[in-house]
Structure 1
Amino acid sequence: MSLAQRRILLGVSAGIAAYKSCELVRRLREQGAEVRVAMTEGATHFVGATTFQALSGQPVRVSLWDEGAEAAMGHIELARWAERVLIAPASADILARLAQGHADDLLTTLCLASAAPLYVAPAMNQQMWAHPAVQANLATLRSRGVTVLGPAAGEQACGDVGSGRMLEPHELRDALAGSFGDGALAGLRVLVSAGPTYEDIDPVRFIGNRSSGRMGFAVAEAAASAGAQVTLVAGPVSLPSPAGIARRLDVRSAAQMREAVLGAAASADIYIGAAAVGDYRPAQVASRKLKKRDGAPLVLDLAENPDILKDLAAASPHAFLVGFAAETHDVAAYAQDKLARKGLDMIAANRVGEGLGFEADDNALSLYWPGGGEELPRASKRALAARLIARVAERYRMARS
């Protein structure tokens, strides 16, 4: 994807992750973007304005009270110039000020004065990220159409480990590139489901599966990078939202996932069912914790869960349907049977166990569609997701041509 001649206004707020923004400017310019930088006063204590000026080749703005720049209402000119506004890092403070509509410095004023889509890449301590006030501010911003990119999880500068790390520069660059609709899925609406489902036995216990959601999240990110408007329905996972997705819906049970998927599928062009939806649920959920009974076995009466893919295929018209099949043996036979039996357009099958599939960083996929197929050998889930999305885009165009 190219950012040639695209106009990116990069806002830098105060945080140690500001050092990554230097690399971000370089990567954006490598793709042909024109980048201008606006910093908060606090950000200059982490990285000097001169550094960003050298990397961007443009003057850096910090203050509304710059007499030279503001002689001709320079902040309005800059706000009109931008095609995309990205704040990276976005501190808890600036997220709060944006949510409240403040215009008390140059960067917040630019955000209010610009009609360009606004993207924020949060970066903060994991405890701050989890605080209800921060999450409420993010919900407000999302409701106004602001796209939240990340954060990632991992070790932080303060020594903590958890969610709050700013996404890497190449991830932010790819999210911006995908937003211009130049990719293989440009202009399309893609719905992705990911992760496990949990079915409650009592208030303490549940039955579920070992899906981590990482494959589905990688697929959602790859679809967004390919230019799609992505809605992600996520089961109970501990993963930050992928870069570039438009909407995330969190669910727990198969019934909740079905409701969310069917509700979003009506406006989707493509549905990719990467979630590991439980086949069964307890027929009755105990209202109190079940107790041991002196060695007597516990027998659970299980009821079959609804088949989301089957329900989608029964609708007319329906989205281009891509299913997943996780199998321990006879992968090809089971996958091709599922493809035909459920009326899918494509299925991605993988063998689980032996270090592949669930709870692993790598995976391998066998793709099947009516009359053909392709093997995607073992690779990282992100790499596999990119290849899968390329093939989905190709098959979708052929099916609709």
Structure 2
Amino acid sequence: MLNSLKDKTILLGITGGIAAYKAATLTSMLVKKGAKVHVIMTDSAKQFITELTLQTLSKQRVYSDTFQERDPASVSHIDLADAADLVLVAPATANMIAKMAHGLADDMLSTTLLATTAPIMVAPAMNVHMYQHPAVLSNIELLASRGVQFIEPGSGLLACGYVGKGRLEEPEEIVRVVEAFFARQAEAAAGPLAGRKVVVTAGGTVERIDPVRYISNDSSGKMGFALARAAQAMGAEVTLVAARTDEAPPQNPGIKVIRVQSAQEMYEAVTGVWDGCDMLIKAAAVADYRPKEAAPSKLKKSGDTMTLELIKTKDILETLGSTKQQQLLIGFAAETGGAEAYAREKLARKNCDLIVANDVGTPGAGFGLDTNIVSIYDKDGLVLELPLLSKDEVAKQLLTLAVKRLPGAE
């Protein structure tokens, strides 16, 4: 197998926990795989392992002091941030995770983490109760939503004497994860969507009646998420505009997530990225109507009936179709009967290049499932009919079809 670490520059951040001793093995393994490893240690990390050890193993200067600039022609933390192909923080303490989540920069490592545009991977290590604390879990969730990847800690006997989850993953497994990351990156760089910008919408919009009630639909976001993952795996730079969904959006590097609620917010987010994209796939279920007025406080029960006045929302797909230039525009039509007729009418009226129709009343094709059954149409009629498949497989087949229709495609 091709060595995916050869000539890669990895910035290894080591923070202050007993697991810092494993960073020596991790550094050695990465170097043996051909990576160039730059180490940044926090002051606390130096209580557990020496700079000399890491310098000897990495064969590179080890950094720990933001203000110890040895080269007047450069700023070390910026140079390191710019040079990195990957930033790996292992072990990562609860303190460093909190700094990352809240944008604090009071030492060499946290400052460099703010300055880098490279992918970031974090391997936490801490006491089991610390790892399960709501503040730590919230910080991890926040970072994951920004695209930070986490290598989950293992379970076992911890240095504090507790048994549970919190032990730094073994260096061999961390290296395997890093290798897999670069292998996927290499595959994507050679993929059919390399250099292309793809926008995907997902989920169901939320139209507020009052602060505690809203109008929405059953869209789970799973189809949109599958499309975002597939597009990124094929090399695209992906923007995922997600409304209310049943699960968290993908955390893959290369997928930028924009969270929205209402149809208006989705309209603004999508039109903001429309001009610069090559392909837009509108898999979200957007409300056709919204309450004319959203009450500022909870509406109280009064009488046996209540009248709610609804007004039309902006038709995002139709707006995009009317302004389309070189972009490939793909819509979805979720129906409960007559899917083909409705889909073909929608494709023509909204000036789509492709429309994906599915009857959500069919077993295996409804909302919230991991499978789908779809038919894909263009202006000439049926292009591809797919049987019951996973949504990931549907996404791959749809994108394989779509990429051939992009301007300049071979």
TM-score for the superposition, normalised by structure 2: 0.70
Q: Structure 1 pair 317/63, CA: closer, same or farther in 2 (3 Å)?
A: farther
- Mapped contact 2:197–2:238 kept (Cα < 8 A): yes
Alignment of 1:34-113 (within 5 A): 42=17, 44=19, 49-50=24-25, 57-58=32-33, 63-66=50-53, 68-69=56-57, 73=61, 83-87=85-89, 92-96=94-98, 99-101=103-105, 108=109
Alignment of 1:366-381 (within 5 A): 366-371=375-380, 372-381=382-391
Q: Structure 1 pair 137/339, CA: closer, same or farther in 2 (3 Å)?
A: closer
- Mapped contact 1:192–1:274 kept (Cα < 8 A): yes
Specify the alignment match of 2:319 in structure 1.
311
Amino acid at match of 1:350: N
Amino acid at match of 2:342: Y
For 2:81 and 2:227, locate their aligned partners in 1 and report how far apart those are by CA, in whole Å. 33
Specify the alignment match of 1:27 in structure 2.
none
- Mapped contact 2:10–2:84 kept (Cα < 8 A): no
SS at match of 2:257: strand
Alignment of 1:160-175 (within 5 A): 169=177, 173=181
Structure 2, unmatched stretches of 5+, are: 40-48, 64-75, 125-130, 156-162, 167-173
Once structures 1 and 2 are overlaid, which stretch shifts more, 257-266 or 39-48?
39-48
Amino acid at match of 2:288: D
Larger radius of gyration: 2
- Mapped contact 1:41–1:63 kept (Cα < 8 A): no
1:284 aligns with 2:293: yes
1:356 aligns with 2:357: no
Q: CA deviation at 1:65?
A: 2.5
Alignment of 1:193-208 (within 5 A): 193-208=201-216
Q: Structure 1 pair 69/10, CA: closer, same or farther in 2 (3 Å)?
A: closer
Q: Structure 1 pair 311/46, CA: closer, same or farther in 2 (3 Å)?
A: farther
For 2:143 and 2:212, locate their aligned partners in 1 and report how far apart those are by CA, in whole Å. 31
- Mapped contact 2:292–2:311 kept (Cα < 8 A): yes
For 2:283 and 2:179, locate their aligned partners in 1 and report how far apart those are by CA, in whole Å. 22
Q: CA deviation at 1:93?
A: 3.4
SS at match of 2:405: helix
Q: Structure 1 pair 368/205, CA: closer, same or farther in 2 (3 Å)?
A: same
TM-score for the superposition, normalised by structure 1: 0.71
Structure 1, unmatched stretches of 5+, are: 12-36, 161-165
SS at match of 2:404: helix
Alignment of 1:305-344 (within 5 A): 305-317=313-325, 319-344=327-352
For 1:122 and 1:234, locate their aligned partners in 2 and report how far apart those are by CA, in whole Å. 27
- Mapped contact 2:289–2:313 kept (Cα < 8 A): yes
Percent identity, please: 34
Amino acid at match of 1:42: G
- Mapped contact 2:226–2:391 kept (Cα < 8 A): yes
Q: CA deviation at 1:388?
A: 2.3
Specify the alignment match of 1:226 in structure 2.
234
For 2:50 and 2:82, locate their aligned partners in 1 and report how far apart those are by CA, in whole Å. 18
For 2:179 and 2:208, locate their aligned partners in 1 and report how far apart those are by CA, in whole Å. 37
Q: CA deviation at 1:48?
A: 7.5
Instruction: Tell me the C-alpha RMSD between the 2 structures.
Output: 4.3
Q: CA deviation at 1:358?
A: 0.8
Q: Structure 1 pair 57/387, CA: closer, same or farther in 2 (3 Å)?
A: farther
Alignment partner of 1:264 out of 273, 297, 314: 273
